Amino acid sequence: MTERFVVIPVGQSDNENIEVDSNSVPDDDGEEGTGGDGDNQGVIPILEYSREPNKYGDGNPKESSPFINNTDNDKGTLYDGKNMALFEEEMDSNPMVSSLLSNLANYTNLTQGVREHEEADEEEGAKKKAVTSPQMGTFIGVYLPCLQNILGVILFLRMTWIVGTAGILETFIIVAMCCTCTMLTAISMSAIATNGVVPAGGSYYMISRSLGPEFGGAVGLCFYLGTTFAGAMYILGTIEILLTYIVPNAAIFKAEDKEHEAEALLNNMRVYGTCCLALMSIVVFVGVKYVNKLALVFLACVVLSILAIYAGVIKTIFEPPDFPICLLGNRSLQNHNFDKCLKTEEIDNVTVTTQLWGLFCDGPSLNASCNDYFRDNEVTQVQGIPGLLSGVISENMWSAYGPSGMLVEKINFPSRPATNTSQDVYMPYVVNDIATFFTLLVGIYFPSVTGIMAGSNRSGDLRDAQKSIPIGTILAIATTTFIYLSCVVLFGACIDGTVLRDKFGDSVKGNLVIGTLSWPSPWVIVIGSFFSCCGAGLQSLTGAPRLLQAIARDGIVPFLEVFGHGKANGEPTWALLLTAAICETGILIASLDAVAPILSMFFLMCYLFVNLACALQTLLRTPNWRPRFKFYHWALSFLGMSLCLALMFISSWYYALVAMMIAGCIYKYIEYRGAEKEWGDGIRGLSLNAARYALMRLEEAPPHTKNWRPQVMVLLNVDSEMSVKHPRLLSFTTQLKAGKGLTIVGNVLEGTYLTKETEAKRAETNIKSAMSAEKTKGFCHVVVSSNLRDGFSYLIQSAGLGGMKHNTVLMAWPGTWKQSNDPQSWRNFIETIRETTAAHQALLVAKNVDSFPTNQDRLGEGTIDVWWIVHDGGMLMLLPFLLRQHKVWRKCKMRIFTVAQMDDNSIQMKKDLQTFLYHLRLDAEVEVVEMHDSDISAFTYEKTLVMEQRSQMLKQMQLSRTEREREIQSITDESRSSIRRKNQPGSSGSSTRRQSAQLEDNKADEAQLIHDRNTASHAAMNDKADAAPERVHMTWTKEKFFTERNRHRVEPNANMGVRDLFNMKPNQSNVRRMHTAVKLNEVVVNKSQGAHLVLLNMPGPPRNRGGDENYMEFLEVLLEGLNRVLLVRGGGREVITIYS
Confidence class for position 188, pLDDT limits 50, 70, 90:
very high
Cα dist. 166→171, 172, 441, 944 in Å? 6, 9, 8, 99
Asked which of 75-89, 411-425, 916-930 is least confident by mean pLDDT, the reply is 75-89
Q: Which long-range contacts (CB under 8 A, 24 or more apart) does 1078-1081 make?
A: 1078/937, 1078/939, 1078/940, 1078/943, 1078/1117, 1079/931, 1079/934, 1080/869, 1080/899, 1080/931, 1080/1118, 1081/1117, 1081/1118, 1081/1119, 1081/1120, 1081/1121
The residues with which 896 forms a beta bridge, in sequence order, are 866, 926
Distance (Å, whole) CA 167 – CA 391 = 15
Residue 35, classed as helix, strand or coil, is coil
Residue 510 has pLDDT above 70, yes or no: yes
751 CA to centre of own chain: 36
Is pLDDT of 359 > 70? yes
Report the alpha-carbon distance of residue 547 to residue 551 in Å, rounded. Answer: 6
How confident is residue 33, by pLDDT bands cut at 50, 70 and 90?
very low
Identify the band that residue 181 occupies on the pLDDT scale cut at 50, 70 and 90: very high
Please give the average per-residue pLDDT across 567-586, as a whole number. Answer: 86
Q: Which of 838-847, 859-868, 945-954 has the lowest mean pLDDT?
A: 945-954
Q: What is the pLDDT of residues 719-770, one digit of tens each?
A: 888 889 889 999 999 988 765 778 999 999 999 999 999 999 999 999 999 9
Q: Which residues pair with 892 in a beta bridge?
A: 862
Phi, psi of 753, rounded to the nearest 5 degrees: -65, -30
Tell me how far apart the alpha carbons of residues 705 and 656 are, in angstroms, rounded to a whole number: 44
pLDDT at residue 995, rounded to an integer: 47
898 Cβ contact partners less than 8 Å away, ≥ 6 residues apart: 867, 868, 869, 909, 913, 926, 927, 928, 929
In this structure, of 262-276, 286-300, 606-620, the range with the lowest mean pLDDT score is 286-300
Ranked by mean pLDDT, the top range of 33-42, 59-68, 634-643 is 634-643
Peptide bond between residue 364 and the one before it cis (omega within 30 degrees of 0): no
Q: Which residue, among 567, 557, 511, 455, has the nearest Cα to 222 in the 3D structure?
A: 557
pLDDT for residue 108 is more than 60: no
Q: What is the mean pLDDT of residues 1042-1062?
A: 49
Residue type at 649 in one-letter notation: F
Range 405-426 average pLDDT: 83
Report how far apart, in Å, the C-alpha atoms of 756 and of each of 717, 748, 770 are.
15, 11, 21
What one-character DSSP code corresponds to residue 40? G
Separation of alpha carbons 438 and 435, rounded Å: 10
Three-state DSSP class for 918? helix
Residue 120: its pLDDT value, please? 47
Contact 874, 1134 (CB under 8 A): yes
Please state the rounded mean pLDDT for residues 1064-1068.
62
5 pLDDT band, cuts 50/70/90, is: very low
Tens of pLDDT, residues 128-161 = 444 444 467 888 888 888 888 898 889 999 999 9
Q: What phi, psi does 1055 have (nearest 5°)?
A: -100, 15
Q: Is the pLDDT of residue 24 over 70?
A: no
* Model pLDDT, residue 75: 41
Asked if 829 and 751 touch (Cβ cutoff 8 Å), the reply is no
- The pLDDT score that the predictor gives to residue 974 is 59
For 56-101, the pLDDT digits (tens) are: 344 444 334 433 344 444 444 444 445 555 555 555 656 656 565 5
Predicted confidence (pLDDT) per residue in 308-317, tens digit: 999 999 999 8
Longest distance between any two alpha carbons in the chain, whole Å: 160
- Whether 320 and 392 have beta carbons less than 8 Å apart is answered as no
pLDDT over 60 (residue 1062): no
Rounded mean pLDDT of 701-707? 69
Distance CA 278, CA 537 (A): 12
SS3 of 851-868: HCCCCCCCCCCEEEEEEE
> Which residues lie across from 865 on neighbouring strands?
895, 1094
CA distance 525 to 509: 16
The pLDDT of 279-293, averaged and rounded, is 81
Taking the C-alpha atoms of residue 1078 and residue 1095, their distance in angstroms, rounded to an integer, is 17
Highest-confidence segment of 172-186, 246-260, 293-307, 939-953:
172-186
Torsion angle in degrees (nearest 10) through CA of 330, 336, 340, 345: -90
Top pLDDT among 650 and 871 is at 650
- Of the two residues 660 and 1066, the one the predictor is more confident about is 660
Whether the predicted pLDDT of 1011 surpasses 60: no
Segment of 62-76, 474-488, 534-548 carrying the highest mean pLDDT: 474-488
Query: Residue 260, SS3?
Result: helix
Please report the sign of the dihedral spanned by the C-alpha atoms of residue 1115, residue 1122, residue 881, residue 866.
negative
Distance CA 1038, CA 737 (A): 65
Over the stretch 640-657, which tens digit does the pLDDT of each residue have? 999 999 999 998 889 999
35 vs 678, higher pLDDT: 678
Reduced to 3 states (helix: H, G, I; strand: E, B; else coil), residue 197 is coil
Kindly tell me if the per-residue pLDDT of 926 is higher than 80: yes
d(CA 66, CA 75): 11
Dihedral over Cα of 272, 273, 275, 280: its sign? positive
- What confidence tier does 1088 reach under pLDDT thresholds 50, 70, 90? confident
Which pLDDT score, from 0 to 100, does residue 186 have?
93
Vertex 1065 angle, CA 1059 and 1069, to 5°: 140
Given pLDDT bands bounded at 50, 70 and 90, which one contains residue 637? very high
Average the pLDDT over 552-557 and give the result.
83
Average pLDDT, the chain: 77
- According to the model, what pLDDT value does residue 745 have? 93
Residue 904 has pLDDT above 80, yes or no: no
